[in-house]
């Protein structure tokens, strides 16, 4: 395995990628500091309007001369009826009552509008000459890949199985982000059901590294240099870390989200579809415990997200974790509230101590 090829491809000093994390977490300060420290900072662009994405790219560029990346969500089909929304709302009523909130009418977005937004986001990446574009929930269409390649963009996409990694390689992308079942945040499964695509990195890295030629970047539960060394031994050329960077000083995560990572040592980070309609790993709280039985009565992404957003916000504002979506991976107890640069430097030193490199 060529240990340098990923670093050359991404033009970085260390094979450490700060995971894109939607929801205001990947501030310009976070992304630029990771890149300044020799890793690759990633802007989460998935839920941003194209012009907001452009502003964030420009703000980040003012803080670093190094490269960074932008991540987008591949649009997926969904089917949600008005009757299903009424049913889901009915089930969710106690969560609204807990904060004295009203259930406002929700109109599902038109598929064309989602496609249009995605296309405009791609235009921004190309116009702003961002070096790295990464994707989750699928693979871009052939013409979109061509557009990015003509602009010289390096393209990454997320896989949760070796079969998805093969599809990413066949589409001509440059590297695969391999998301193990340990990972915090939404599951990137796009070929099979997400429930059937839950393989731990211990098995997933060697299987995938044996089946694809492109570099494998491991993601999920990686919090320390020991984890990085293990991923390297298993066949990964780099790592993508979310939860570890969520806790750092420059991250835009809510303070409660940061502190709960280490304060909830014996509370698991579990998989649930309750918050957004798409399976995601989050710190178990009252909402997940009390509503899990109704999971199948909820609606699909992205509509479920709109239904639950009001009480998620209210929960955070009240300073209680009970109804908030606190995405986190299985290694959350190893989170450190230090600077982004401090974390990258510590990780590199720890990886070396574990007799590996990154």
Provide the binding-site residues for ligand FMN, judged by CB under 6 A.
19-22, 25, 44, 46, 71, 136, 158, 179, 182-185, 219-222, 240-244, 246, 327-329, 331
CA–CA distance, 324 with 195 (Å, rounded to integer): 23
Closest to ligand FMN by CB, 50 vs 185, is 185
CB of 282 to ligand FMN, least distance (A): 8
Closest to ligand FMN by CB, 103 vs 308, is 308
CB of 18 to ligand FMN, least distance (A): 9
- Spell out the residues 6+ positions from residue 206 whose beta carbon is closer than 8 angstroms to its own: 234, 235
Strand partners, 41: 68
Closest to ligand FMN by CB, 103 vs 144, is 144
CA–CA distance, 323 with 308 (Å, rounded to integer): 9
CB of 134 to ligand FMN, least distance (A): 6
Token code pair at residue 5: 């090829």
Tell me whether the omega of the peptide bond preceding residue 162 falls within 30 degrees of 0, making it cis: no
Residue 156 three-state SS: strand
CB of 135 to ligand FMN, least distance (A): 7
CB of 239 to ligand FMN, least distance (A): 8
CB of 10 to ligand FMN, least distance (A): 15
CB of 92 to ligand FMN, least distance (A): 22
Q: Which contacts qualify for 338-341: CB closer than 8 Å, 24 or more apart? A: 338/248, 338/249, 339/33, 339/248, 339/249, 339/250, 340/18, 340/29, 340/30, 340/33, 340/34, 340/37, 340/245, 340/248, 340/249, 340/250, 340/251, 341/33, 341/34, 341/36, 341/37
Token code pair at residue 285: 């709280």
Closest to ligand FMN by CB, 85 vs 124, is 124
CB of 58 to ligand FMN, least distance (A): 20
CB of 86 to ligand FMN, least distance (A): 29
Token code pair at residue 34: 């990771």
Closest to ligand FMN by CB, 108 vs 184, is 184
Closest to ligand FMN by CB, 38 vs 329, is 329
Closest to ligand FMN by CB, 46 vs 310, is 46
Cα distance from N-terminal residue to C-terminal residue, the chain: 13
Torsion of CA 313, 318, 321, 325, to 10 degrees: 0
CA–CA distance, 173 with 164 (Å, rounded to integer): 12
Tell me which residue of 71, 68, 57 sits closest to 34, measured CA to CA. 68
Closest to ligand FMN by CB, 38 vs 242, is 242
CB-CB contact of 187 with 160 (8 Å): yes
CB of 293 to ligand FMN, least distance (A): 25
Closest to ligand FMN by CB, 21 vs 85, is 21
DSSP β-ladder status, 269-272 and 280-283: antiparallel
Torsion of CA 51, 52, 57, 59, to 10 degrees: 120
Closest to ligand FMN by CB, 38 vs 185, is 185
């Amino acid at each position: 395995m060529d240990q340098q090829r990923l670093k050359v491809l991404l033009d970085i000093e260390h094979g450490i990628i700060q995971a894109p994390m939607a929801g205001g977490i990947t501030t310009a300060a976070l992304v630029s500091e990771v890149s300044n420290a020799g890793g690759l900072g990633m802007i989460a662009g998935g839920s941003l309007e194209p012009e907001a994405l452009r502003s964030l790219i420009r703000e980040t560029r003012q803080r670093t001369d190094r490269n960074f990346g932008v991540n987008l969500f591949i649009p997926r089909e969904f089917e949600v009826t008005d009757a299903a929304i009424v049913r889901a709302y009915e089930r969710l009523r106690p969560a609204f009552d807990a904060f004295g909130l009203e259930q406002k009418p929700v109109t599902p977005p038109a598929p064309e509008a989602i496609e249009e937004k995605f296309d405009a986001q791609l235009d921004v990446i190309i116009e702003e000459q961002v070096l790295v574009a990464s994707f989750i929930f699928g693979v871009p269409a052939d013409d979109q890949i061509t557009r990015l390649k003509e602009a010289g963009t390096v393209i990454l996409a997320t896989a949760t199985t070796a079969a998805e990694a093969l599809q990413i390689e066949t589409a001509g992308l440059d590297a695969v982000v391999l998301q193990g079942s340990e990972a915090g945040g939404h599951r990137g499964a796009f070929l099979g059901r997400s429930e059937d695509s839950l393989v731990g990195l211990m098995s997933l890295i060697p299987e995938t590294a044996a089946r694809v030629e492109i570099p494998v970047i491991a993601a999920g539960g990686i919090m320390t240099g020991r984890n990085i060394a293990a991923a390297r031994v298993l066949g990964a050329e780099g790592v993508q870390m979310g939860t570890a960077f969520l806790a750092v000083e420059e991250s835009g995560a809510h303070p409660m989200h940061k502190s709960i990572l280490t304060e909830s040592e014996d509370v698991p980070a579990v998989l649930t579809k309750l918050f957004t309609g798409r399976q995601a790993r989050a710190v178990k709280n009252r909402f997940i415990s009390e509503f899990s039985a109704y999971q199948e009565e909820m609606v699909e992404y992205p509509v479920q997200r709109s239904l639950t957003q009001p009480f998620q916000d209210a929960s955070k504002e009240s300073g209680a974790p009970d109804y908030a979506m606190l995405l986190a991976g299985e290694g959350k107890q190893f989170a450190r509230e230090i600077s982004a640069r401090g974390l990258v430097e510590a990780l590199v030193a720890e990886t070396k101590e574990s007799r590996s490199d990154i």
